[in-house]
Homo-oligomer: A and B are copies of this chain.
Amino acid sequence: MRELSRIFKALSDKNRIRIIKMLQCKPMCVCELAEVLGLAMSTVSKHLTILRDVELINDLKDGKWVDYSLSRSSRTVYARELLRSMSKWLNEDDAVKADIRKAGKVSRKGICG
Protein backbone atom coordinates (compact mmCIF):
# COMPACT_ATOMS: atom_id res chain seq x y z
CA MET A 1 0.00 0.00 0.00
CA ARG A 2 2.75 2.41 1.00
CA GLU A 3 4.67 1.40 -2.11
CA LEU A 4 1.70 2.13 -4.35
CA SER A 5 0.91 5.49 -2.78
CA ARG A 6 4.56 6.49 -3.14
CA ILE A 7 4.51 5.71 -6.85
CA PHE A 8 1.32 7.69 -7.34
CA LYS A 9 2.84 10.58 -5.40
CA ALA A 10 5.95 10.43 -7.57
CA LEU A 11 3.73 10.69 -10.65
CA SER A 12 1.52 13.44 -9.23
CA ASP A 13 3.84 16.31 -10.07
CA LYS A 14 3.59 18.09 -13.41
CA ASN A 15 7.34 18.45 -13.83
CA ARG A 16 7.98 14.80 -13.01
CA ILE A 17 5.41 13.79 -15.62
CA ARG A 18 7.25 15.97 -18.13
CA ILE A 19 10.49 14.21 -17.19
CA ILE A 20 8.91 10.77 -17.70
CA LYS A 21 7.59 11.78 -21.10
CA MET A 22 10.98 13.07 -22.22
CA LEU A 23 12.81 9.98 -20.99
CA GLN A 24 10.33 7.94 -22.98
CA CYS A 25 12.15 9.27 -26.07
CA LYS A 26 15.74 9.02 -24.93
CA PRO A 27 17.98 8.96 -21.85
CA MET A 28 18.93 12.43 -20.63
CA CYS A 29 21.24 13.93 -18.04
CA VAL A 30 20.28 16.36 -15.27
CA CYS A 31 21.51 19.49 -16.99
CA GLU A 32 19.65 18.70 -20.21
CA LEU A 33 16.42 18.12 -18.31
CA ALA A 34 16.95 21.29 -16.27
CA GLU A 35 17.48 23.27 -19.47
CA VAL A 36 14.25 22.04 -21.08
CA LEU A 37 12.18 22.33 -17.90
CA GLY A 38 13.52 25.74 -17.01
CA LEU A 39 14.23 24.64 -13.45
CA ALA A 40 17.32 24.79 -11.27
CA MET A 41 19.52 21.71 -11.50
CA SER A 42 19.14 21.06 -7.80
CA THR A 43 15.38 20.95 -8.23
CA VAL A 44 15.59 18.54 -11.15
CA SER A 45 18.03 16.36 -9.26
CA LYS A 46 15.52 16.11 -6.43
CA HIS A 47 12.73 15.14 -8.84
CA LEU A 48 14.93 12.45 -10.35
CA THR A 49 15.72 11.04 -6.92
CA ILE A 50 12.00 10.76 -6.19
CA LEU A 51 11.37 8.95 -9.48
CA ARG A 52 14.35 6.67 -8.97
CA ASP A 53 13.35 5.79 -5.41
CA VAL A 54 10.17 4.19 -6.73
CA GLU A 55 12.03 2.53 -9.59
CA LEU A 56 10.34 4.43 -12.37
CA ILE A 57 13.75 5.46 -13.71
CA ASN A 58 17.35 4.29 -13.56
CA ASP A 59 20.57 6.23 -13.45
CA LEU A 60 23.77 5.33 -15.23
CA LYS A 61 27.04 7.18 -14.77
CA ASP A 62 28.62 8.37 -18.00
CA GLY A 63 31.79 10.19 -17.14
CA LYS A 64 30.91 13.32 -15.27
CA TRP A 65 27.32 13.06 -16.43
CA VAL A 66 24.54 10.88 -15.05
CA ASP A 67 22.16 9.53 -17.64
CA TYR A 68 18.64 8.90 -16.50
CA SER A 69 16.37 6.54 -18.41
CA LEU A 70 13.03 4.84 -17.91
CA SER A 71 13.23 1.70 -15.86
CA ARG A 72 12.72 -1.38 -18.03
CA SER A 73 12.31 -3.94 -15.29
CA SER A 74 11.05 -2.44 -12.08
CA ARG A 75 10.71 -4.62 -9.04
CA THR A 76 7.05 -3.74 -8.61
CA VAL A 77 4.21 -4.47 -10.99
CA TYR A 78 2.95 -0.96 -10.18
CA ALA A 79 5.89 0.80 -11.79
CA ARG A 80 5.88 -1.50 -14.81
CA GLU A 81 2.19 -1.12 -15.49
CA LEU A 82 2.07 2.61 -14.82
CA LEU A 83 4.99 3.24 -17.15
CA ARG A 84 3.17 1.23 -19.79
CA SER A 85 0.07 3.37 -19.35
CA MET A 86 2.08 6.57 -19.31
CA SER A 87 3.69 5.65 -22.61
CA LYS A 88 0.25 5.75 -24.22
CA TRP A 89 -0.85 8.98 -22.56
CA LEU A 90 -0.12 12.64 -23.33
CA ASN A 91 1.59 11.93 -26.63
CA GLU A 92 -0.59 14.57 -28.27
CA ASP A 93 -0.20 17.04 -25.42
CA ASP A 94 1.20 20.34 -26.66
CA ALA A 95 3.44 20.94 -23.65
CA VAL A 96 4.85 17.43 -23.92
CA LYS A 97 5.46 17.78 -27.64
CA ALA A 98 7.24 21.09 -27.07
CA ASP A 99 9.43 19.52 -24.38
CA ILE A 100 10.39 16.65 -26.64
CA ARG A 101 11.20 19.02 -29.46
CA LYS A 102 13.45 21.06 -27.15
CA ALA A 103 14.99 17.91 -25.75
CA GLY A 104 16.10 16.97 -29.24
CA LYS A 105 18.04 20.21 -29.52
CA VAL A 106 19.81 20.55 -26.19
CA SER A 107 23.34 19.31 -25.96
CA ARG A 108 24.89 18.39 -22.67
CA LYS A 109 28.15 20.00 -23.73
CA GLY A 110 28.41 23.24 -21.83
CA ILE A 111 24.88 23.72 -20.60
CA CYS A 112 25.91 24.26 -17.04
CA GLY A 113 28.47 26.97 -16.41
Chain A residues within CB distance 8 Å of chain B: 1-2, 4-6, 8-9, 11-14, 17-18, 77-78, 81-82, 85, 89-90, 93, 95-96
Contacts and interface: CB of A to CB of B under 8 A. Distances in A.
- Interface of A (DSSP majority class): helix
Contacts of A95: 1
A80 to B, nearest CB: 11
Contact of A4 (B4, B6, B9, B90): B90
A1 B93 contact: yes
Nearest to A9: B12
Given A5-B13, A9-B12, A78-B89, 5 more contacts: A1-B93, A8-B8, A8-B17, A82-B85, A85-B85
